[in-house]
Structure 1
Amino acid sequence: MVEMEVQGITLDPITNMPVLLLKGKENDEILTIWIGVFEANSIAMHLESMTYPRPLTYDLFTNILNSLSTSVENVIIHTLKDNTYYASIILRDKEGRTVEIDARPSDAINIALRSGCPILVSEEVLAEANNGKKEKIDEEDLKEWIESLKPEDFEKNIEF
């Protein structure tokens, strides 16, 4: 498994759909996942540290888990099948039992961001997503690209 971090969200210039960019925490591997507008909006709001007086859906879910003394151990993007990614959320209850919950990657990552748990991607998924070759990205190029994004780049599909 490769631990990854959310680097940001951008829009696919052809489809105008949000694209989530993950980067390896200890390496330069990247993974891009096209996600829904609402899920992208929620990730972007969290990354921008936006808060609301009442909990939104992913915050509510995290609050429920906390009130039940259940922690999110990690989320795993484990399968790529027919151009669809599959993920699991691994929960641990107060007795130490673990439960694996099937989830869409965008939902799992929203939960991971709010709970502070690791985001793991299987090496098989990375290899398949990158057509068997290890994709590398220059960190300075990535930083420059993310810094060049403007709010207008998101206005067509995402409302903040």
Structure 2
Amino acid sequence: MAVVLQVAAAPASILMSQQTGGRVVALRSCKLGAGRRVPSVQQGGWLRWERTESRTSQCQSSMSFNNGSSAADSGFSENDEDYVDSTVVEAVEVKSGSEGFLIKMRDGRFVKCVHNNPEGGHLPDYAPQPAIVLKMEDGSDLLLPIIVLELPSTMLMEAVRNVQVARPTVYQVMKDMLELMGYEAKLVRVTRRVQEAYYARIYVTKVGDETQKMVSLDLRPSDAINLAIRCKIPIQVNRELAYGDGVRIVNDPARLPSRALRANVGIVLTELDRPESDSCAAAEEFVLVRSMMMAAIEERYSDAARLRDELSQLRTKKRRQQKQT
């Protein structure tokens, strides 16, 4: 059985364009259809991307059901010991350059990491990319960075902060659809990697029917993890992926927030609830950035574009004042 969702891509080019030096990740219209273009990783490179297939002109994303008993169909072992529990950490970007491989945390700090596998090779330099980072909870403290589109990354951070939006997001709609069909989400797993793309599955059961086997849906990791946060269910990672592709921190471990965000615990982030500086200019800029992000998430794109322009004008004014002083 197959379920096909017809989803329109949002015009997200307005989001965060000021904070990425003009680099814009645009979700094109469904009629145009396009897959995401990402920097190529040379042979021996070790950072992986999430799967982002090219959309057809109909903009359909298929989610195949699997009865959970067929490991061959899903491409991985169903044994629980093959998976490691993980949590979502406060990370928003990853980049590689002369400083090494860095993970940017939600509060603006950077954490330097190295590949867990000494044979992982050298990663080519590339610009900052939005990412979701999972922390393994088996005592190894390994991190698995997954490069994703900017909007799912932002929506994930908003979900863990319990931010209320005016209109339901696509992930809230998917959660509601599962409930309306009489299913309950139980678990999300990052299952495998094909070349440079990660795959994930969400496992669901029929409510009130203990005789029916668990079924699973094939999803992109960013979608599966967003759903896991909203459904408050565990997130697991294939052990071989975690140890083969994971990274470990090499600088001050205290810089990694100790309260990793568990999928089944509603922890609210507060780092961006106020500006770091007490100056009026910093406060004004903070309000504009936060308002722009909220407008984009709530799909008020005209408001977000207006706030983006105001933010650009404010920053231009600040630069002029700094030059004069």
| Same fold, judged at TM 0.5 (above) | yes
Verify the 8 A CA contact 2:92 2:153 in the aligned structure 1: no
Give the strand-richer structure, 1 or 2.
1
Q: Which runs of no fewer than 5 residues in structure 2 stay unpaired?
A: 1-82, 96-125, 261-270, 277-284, 295-325
Q: How does 1:55-66 map to 2 (within 5 A)?
A: 55-66=168-179
Partner of 1:141: 255
State the secondary structure of the residue aligned to 2:127: coil
Partner of 1:21: 133
1:159 aligns with 2:275: no
Q: How does 1:33-44 map to 2 (within 5 A)?
A: 33-44=146-157
Alpha-carbon shift at residue 139 of structure 1 (Å):
5.0
**Deviations 1:116-136 (CA, angstroms, capped at 9, x unpaired):** 111000111112213xxx736
Amino acid aligned to 2:134 = L
Partner of 2:193: 80
State the secondary structure of the residue aligned to 2:228: helix
Amino acid aligned to 1:90 = Y
**Deviations 1:7-65 (CA, angstroms, capped at 9, x unpaired):** 12322344232121111234212111111112112102112221113311101111111
C-alpha RMSD over aligned residues: 2.7
Q: Give runs of ≥4 in structure 1 deviating > 3 Å.
A: 134-139
For residues 7 and 93 of structure 1, the distance between their equivalents in structure 2, rounded to whole angstroms, comes to: 31
Verify the 8 A CA contact 1:80 1:129 in the aligned structure 2: no
For residues 57 and 76 of structure 1, the distance between their equivalents in structure 2, rounded to whole angstroms, comes to: 20
Alpha-carbon shift at residue 73 of structure 1 (Å):
1.0
Alpha-carbon shift at residue 5 of structure 1 (Å):
0.5
Higher relative contact order (CA 8 A, sep 6+): 1
Partner of 1:12: 94
Verify the 8 A CA contact 2:88 2:134 in the aligned structure 1: yes
Give the helix-richer structure, 1 or 2.
1
Verify the 8 A CA contact 2:185 2:202 in the aligned structure 1: yes
Amino acid aligned to 2:84 = V
TM-score, structure 1 as length reference: 0.81
Amino acid aligned to 1:142 = L
For residues 235 and 165 of structure 2, the distance between their equivalents in structure 1, rounded to whole angstroms, comes to: 25
State the secondary structure of the residue aligned to 2:186: strand
Amino acid aligned to 2:254 = E
Q: Which runs of no fewer than 5 residues in structure 1 stay unpaired?
A: none
For residues 224 and 253 of structure 2, the distance between their equivalents in structure 1, rounded to whole angstroms, comes to: 25
Percent of matched pairs sharing the same residue: 23
Partner of 2:85: 3
For residues 26 and 139 of structure 1, the distance between their equivalents in structure 2, rounded to whole angstroms, comes to: 17
Greater gyration radius: 2
For residues 235 and 143 of structure 2, the distance between their equivalents in structure 1, rounded to whole angstroms, comes to: 13
Alignment equivalent of 1:117, drawn from 227, 233, 236:
233
Verify the 8 A CA contact 2:228 2:235 in the aligned structure 1: yes
C-alpha distance 3-139 of structure 1, shift in aligned 2 (>3 A): farther
State the secondary structure of the residue aligned to 2:168: coil
TM-score, structure 2 as length reference: 0.42
Amino acid aligned to 1:76 = R
